[in-house]
Structure 1
Amino acid sequence: MDVLDDLLAGTRARGGVFNQTVLDPPWSLLIADEATLALATMIRGDAWLLFEGAEPIRLRERDIAVIRGPVRYVVADDPGTAPRLLIKPNGVCEPLPGATEHDGPSLGPRTHGRRPDGQDLLVSGVYQMKSDVSRRLLAALPPVLVVPADQVAGPVMDLLTAEISRDDPGQQVVLDRWLDLALIITLRAWFARPESKAPGWYQAQGDPVVGQALRLIHEDPARGWTVAELADRCGASRANLARRFSALVGAAPMAYLTGWRITLAADLLRDTDDTVESIARKVGYANAFALSVAFKRIRGISPSAHRKGEALASSA
């Protein structure tokens, strides 16, 4: 288990919303779906991504864009084309002023457009991420990234496109897993690019000492790790491990371990009814008091207050 494994495992789609829109120029969509994370690709044709205050971004056929939200943006055949359709939460498609009766009718499950064989085909899938683990992944991403078609696995998107238009039993689960796979492949390709400015924890995985220490922490975060034991398992001195870890990851080994334990505890507090005592032991603390001290030091609130706040947010 490495860091990316753990972050992606905590970023699984559940009830992802999918759309494919068949379009003929001129066309433009205003995306206001309030998604935490979105993937978009042009199966046919090219497009432009337009964000307020930023230069237009070209999305060529089969490139994959990952957009970190929630943010409003436009996808258009040309930067000068005014939006005709509004995409709202849950994939709801509404006409905007200037739209015609041919813009946006339903062509089948999760599919909109004037005609099935339109010139351009846009496919998108969105996540609503709520976990603290997924927030750590989001923090490592730029507002928008585009991975060229030749660096991602095209067949994955072909299969996803084929599934979007079906409405078989269990279809949502199938689509969620395909969306996860597309995200994993895209992010791996992105982090491997020099211009990605990959986070320290990703770059450190290639280091023989620090990478091994990170894997040990993520494989068993509840273990009573010390810098000395990690160094011994990695074949390095304590000073060497501490220096290299801090330089590459941006935090000392024990500080990184504490942060990861608190992240896991925060998700357990939100997603389970386990007692704080039980959660404390699961993430490596001797008792609820020890977890509460660490949690309040890192998050500024107690575990119980965090749980209550998350419950209120979910109700809202």
Structure 2
Amino acid sequence: MDALAALLNAQRARGAFLLRSLMDPPWSMLIEDGAPLTVVVLARGTAWLTPASGAPVELTPGAVALARGPSPYTVADAPGTPAQISIGPGQVCASLDGTRLEERMSQGVRTWGNSPDGRTVMLTGTYETAAETARDLLDALPPLLVLPADTAREPLITALTAEITTDAPGQSAVLDRLLDLLTVTLLRAWLTRPDGDPPGWYRAQSDPLVGRALRLLEHNPAHPWTVDALAAGLSVSRSTLTRRFTALVGASPMAHLTRHRLNLAADLLADPSLTLDAIARRVGYGTAFALSTAFKRVRGLTPAEHRAAVGAA
């Protein structure tokens, strides 16, 4: 499995929030939900996205935006339109004076807006939680990424447009998979663009030596890896492996492995049925105590504290 596939398998939609918005000007929404990732598709009309810091960006029909949280941003009919609506955590929609608007502006199944025949139609898909093992992918994204219309994406957008207002058994699973597929195509287009500067971990995957090392470490985190054992398995010297790995990935092999193990442990802690001992063995720590010590040292809180925080969220 390549790096992008591995990260996207971690960050998959599970009951994602999806909505079709129908808007007539003037309109402006302040998005401050803190969601880790949101996909916005402009199906009709025009819209402007303004990040917390940066210039407004226009969306035209077929254009798609990826907004990375938790920074707020504004979506409006024009850059100068004052915000009228706030979207908060949990997708709570309210006017700026705190009046809830979900029922007042409902236009049917997963449809909302200030007009039943809005000049602007947007499709929004929001990932409301982030997997720790997908952090490298999310952190590499700019706060706001806009990609122009592309005929290759039209069938996906057409399918999402049709399904988002459908009320049928298993519909949330259908929408999750469509959102995931659209997100994959957007991220792949961004990472492989001719004028792009992809992150080091992505470039490292194509290196004959470092790519193999990454796959060995990440596909089997429970193995008792050492730099010497890894270098021997790759038929190179310890110094050659460490030098090239650090240059491309930005961390030594063992530092990268520790980060990967603890991110994986953080994701597994979200499952209350798994004991700390079971998680420790799965991610390469012999005992719960060893995992707890490393977790506290690197992340600043104990596994129990992390599990409680995830449960509360």
Q: Normalising by structure 2, report the TM-score.
A: 0.87
Q: CA deviation at 1:277?
A: 2.0
Question: Are the counterparts in 1 of residues 17 and 128 from structure 2 also a CA contact under 8 Å?
Answer: no
| Partner SS state of residue 271, structure 1 | coil
Tell me, yes or no, if structure 1 residue 56 matches structure 2 residue 56.
yes
Q: CA deviation at 1:124?
A: 0.6
Q: Which runs of structure 1 show a deviation greater than 4 angstroms over 4 or more consecutive aligned residues? A: 88-97, 114-117
Query: Alpha carbons of 1:296 and 1:143: their partners in 2 closer, same or farther (altered >3 Å)?
Result: same
Deviates more, 1:180-189 or 1:131-140: 131-140
Query: Alpha carbons of 1:251 and 1:312: their partners in 2 closer, same or farther (altered >3 Å)?
Result: closer
Where does the alignment leave 5 or more consecutive residues of structure 2 unmatched? Answer: none
The Cα offsets for residues 132-189 of structure 1, whole Å up to 9 and x where unpaired, read as 2233432222211122223862322221121111111111121112111111211111
The Cα offsets for residues 34-92 of structure 1, whole Å up to 9 and x where unpaired, read as 32211111012332111234211222322221111133321122212233444344545
Deviates more, 1:110-119 or 1:155-164: 110-119
> What residue is the counterpart of 2:46 in the other structure?
46
Separation of aligned partners in 2, 1:44 and 1:235 = 56
> What residue is the counterpart of 2:143 in the other structure?
143
Q: What is the aligned-residue identity percentage?
A: 49
The Cα offsets for residues 164-223 of structure 1, whole Å up to 9 and x where unpaired, read as 111111111211121111112111111223565422111111111111111222221212
Q: After the TM superposition, which residues 41-190 of structure 1 pair with which residues of structure 2 at under 5 Å, given as runs? A: 41-94=41-94, 105-113=105-113, 117-150=117-150, 153-190=153-190
> What residue is the counterpart of 2:238 in the other structure?
238
Note the aligned Cα RMSD (angstroms): 2.6
Tell me, yes or no, if structure 1 residue 308 matches structure 2 residue 277.
no
> What residue is the counterpart of 2:218 in the other structure?
218
Separation of aligned partners in 1, 2:233 and 2:42 = 47
> What residue is the counterpart of 2:7 in the other structure?
7
Report how many residues are paired: 308
Q: CA deviation at 1:243?
A: 1.3
Separation of aligned partners in 1, 2:53 and 2:11 = 29
Question: Are the counterparts in 1 of residues 35 and 127 from structure 2 also a CA contact under 8 Å?
Answer: yes
Separation of aligned partners in 1, 2:298 and 2:253 = 16
Separation of aligned partners in 2, 1:53 and 1:279 = 40
Where does the alignment leave 5 or more consecutive residues of structure 1 unmatched? Answer: none
Q: CA deviation at 1:19?
A: 1.2
Question: Are the counterparts in 2 of residues 2 and 214 from structure 1 also a CA contact under 8 Å?
Answer: no
Deviates more, 1:139-148 or 1:287-296: 287-296
One-letter identity of the residue aligned with 2:177: R
Query: Alpha carbons of 1:79 and 1:93: their partners in 2 closer, same or farther (altered >3 Å)?
Result: same
Q: CA deviation at 1:313?
A: 5.2
Deviates more, 1:217-226 or 1:121-130: 217-226
Separation of aligned partners in 2, 1:11 and 1:188 = 14
| Partner SS state of residue 129, structure 1 | coil
Question: Are the counterparts in 2 of residues 6 and 218 from structure 1 also a CA contact under 8 Å?
Answer: no
Q: Normalising by structure 1, report the TM-score.
A: 0.86
Query: Alpha carbons of 1:55 and 1:295: their partners in 2 closer, same or farther (altered >3 Å)?
Result: same
Tell me, yes or no, if structure 1 residue 273 matches structure 2 residue 270.
no
Separation of aligned partners in 2, 1:315 and 1:61 = 39
Q: CA deviation at 1:94?
A: 4.3
> What residue is the counterpart of 2:263 in the other structure?
263
One-letter identity of the residue aligned with 1:314: G
| Partner SS state of residue 184, structure 1 | helix
Q: CA deviation at 1:95?
A: 5.2
Question: Are the counterparts in 2 of residues 129 and 135 from structure 1 also a CA contact under 8 Å?
Answer: no
Separation of aligned partners in 2, 1:68 and 1:258 = 26
Separation of aligned partners in 1, 2:152 and 2:26 = 28
Deviates more, 1:49-58 or 1:207-216: 49-58
| Partner SS state of residue 34, structure 2 | coil
Question: Are the counterparts in 2 of residues 19 and 91 from structure 1 also a CA contact under 8 Å?
Answer: no
